[in-house]
Amino acid sequence: MEKRADVIIIGAGPGGIFCAYELLRQKPDLKVIVIEKGRSIEKRVCPKRTTLQCVGCKPCSITTGFAGAGAFSDGKLSLSPDVGGNLPEILGYEKTAELIHESDEIYLKFGADRNVYGVDKQDVIREIRRRAIGANLKLVECPIRHLGTEEGYKIYAKLQKHLMDEGAELIFNTMVEEILVEDGKAVGVRTDKEDVYYGSEVVSAVGREGADWFKDKCEEVGIETTPGTVDVGVRVEVRDEVMQYLNDNLYEAKLIYHTPTFDDKVRTFCTNPSGEVATEYYEGGLAVVNGHAYKAKDHKTHNTNFAILVSKNFTKPFKTPIEYGKQIAQLSNMLCGGRILVQTFGDFKRGRRTTEERLCRNNLIPTLKDAVPGDLSLVFPHRIMVDIEEMLEALDKITPGIASDETLLYGVEVKFYSNRVIVNSDFETSIKGLRAIGDGAGVTRGLQQASANGISVARSILKGMNA
């Protein structure tokens, strides 16, 4: 089968959604096709929620489908250009701020909570910054709008219905096998069902789950890329009481540290007050750790979780940072039978394996019930182990108790946004007619900048059509 469209969007994550939204808002008669390898949002059901065991769904409903990994994420929207990606480098700081504001207004239109964390209590924030400076940590101030895991799902369900009502053709359960290029120009795509879709513009809007796929496509058609950063680390879990000072005043404290031993950049990421630790599955069954927090009181726990991520940049001849992160995660999976490893910080410091017996002594009860007690030193390189320990000791100076022996470390958390595609200010790649946006292209690292990126590229496309 062959079809023609004005714009073909690969991926129905936030970047693809907001690109289609803006295209049809400005030009309702456009033919827009969105191709997504996962399911429509109402069919995204994870059996593990009832069986408590992963059954290996292909594709995984947690990481793929309409809204991408954002559908079941904690749903935090970072409202500052300083957080969530590289858009300020490409578009400038002020333009990025404008686009973030516009995308935020769309989330509000579809039901997002109007409460914003981190904009009041300036006296308290000054005190947190003072403590951070004393610990050689940098506090990145960033207003946060919290959708909540279950509320984010509802918002994206409304956006899916809106796009369909506006005439977008959403094609699910379909993998793009080939980007068609003729005379140096992208002209369409071919799917795993041997269907061919031709379009004047092709937008790759895949998320982190699709980063490896896009890296392969870049090699196939000759798209210029540059080795990017890979973030590898752990998800930390503590009692809410330990994090209460930061949670109550900032909701998510974004802190950056350069470790004294190796001068590596380490950061906190994705804090979930009263949340739960969760497993994400990527193609091939790769299990990595993540975290969620729900709005509903009956879904809240007594624990807070957040990520500590070590940023690694590589130089020539190395050019496969995604594979580096995968290898670390695969080693952890191998030791734990495809599940997530958990270790107390006390055992982590002492270089010994956590046992079920020692885990049961804790005040802290793990929220990821099928995590396997183990030893992260068998997974991480020594350098990353040192970085994690030094970061926790520094954080303990801001909110004492984080570096206690009973603190839980889950591994491995990896962010696969390291394939950075070289694009211009209109997000055009070195292949004419092919634009790359979002996390999978290494342009963004979160829901809000990915959404803003979608709006930006839609306007670039429309500008080209009107030229």
Res 460 pLDDT > 60: yes
Q: Which residue type, as a one-letter code, is found at position 263?
A: D
Q: What pLDDT digit, counting tens, does each position of 145-195 carry? A: 988 777 888 999 999 999 999 999 999 999 999 999 999 999 999 999 999
Q: What is the average pLDDT across 288-293?
A: 91
Say if residue 261 is exposed, middle or buried (CB neighbours under 10 Å; 0-12, 13-18, 19+).
exposed
User: Hey, what domains does the chain have and what are their CATH numbers?
Assistant: 2-112+147-226+420-466 (3.50.50.60), 122-142+229-415 (no CATH)
Res 427 pLDDT > 70: yes
- Would you state the pLDDT for residue 419? 63
Q: In this structure, are residues 111 and 155 in contact, taking their beta carbons and an 8 Å threshold?
A: yes
284-304: burial string, b at 16+ Cβ within 10 Å, e else: eebbbbbbbbbeeeeeebebb
Res 418 pLDDT > 60: no
pLDDT classification of 52: cutoffs 50, 70, 90: low
pLDDT classification of 284: cutoffs 50, 70, 90: confident
Q: What is the pTM (predicted TM-score) of this model?
A: 0.80
Position with higher pLDDT, 52 vs 120 = 120
- Would you state the pLDDT for residue 169? 98
Strands (E), 314-452: 341-344, 372-373, 408-415, 419-421, 434-436
Res 428 pLDDT > 70: yes
- Would you state the pLDDT for residue 53? 64
3-state secondary structure of 38: coil
pLDDT classification of 446: cutoffs 50, 70, 90: confident
Position with higher pLDDT, 299 vs 302 = 302
Tell me which residue of 186, 168, 192 sits closest to 12, measured CA to CA. 168
- Would you state the pLDDT for residue 114? 92
Res 229 pLDDT > 90: no
Q: What is the average pLDDT across 8-36?
A: 97
- How high is the mean pLDDT of the chain? 91
Q: In this structure, are residues 440 and 417 in contact, taking their beta carbons and an 8 Å threshold?
A: yes
- Would you state the pLDDT for residue 49? 62
Joined tokens for residue 114: 């109007």
Q: What is the average pLDDT across 104-111?
A: 97
Q: What is the average pLDDT across 381-410?
A: 97
Res 436 pLDDT > 80: yes
Phi-psi region of 56 (alpha: psi -120 to 50; beta: other; left: phi over 0): left
Q: In this structure, are residues 327 and 318 in contact, taking their beta carbons and an 8 Å threshold?
A: no
Q: What is the average pLDDT across 412-426?
A: 83
Q: What is the DSSP letter of 261?
A: T
- Would you state the pLDDT for residue 454? 98
Position with higher pLDDT, 362 vs 87 = 87
Q: What is the average pLDDT across 261-283?
A: 92
Partnered with residue 85 across adjacent β-strands are 444
Strands (E), 11-89: 32-35, 76-78
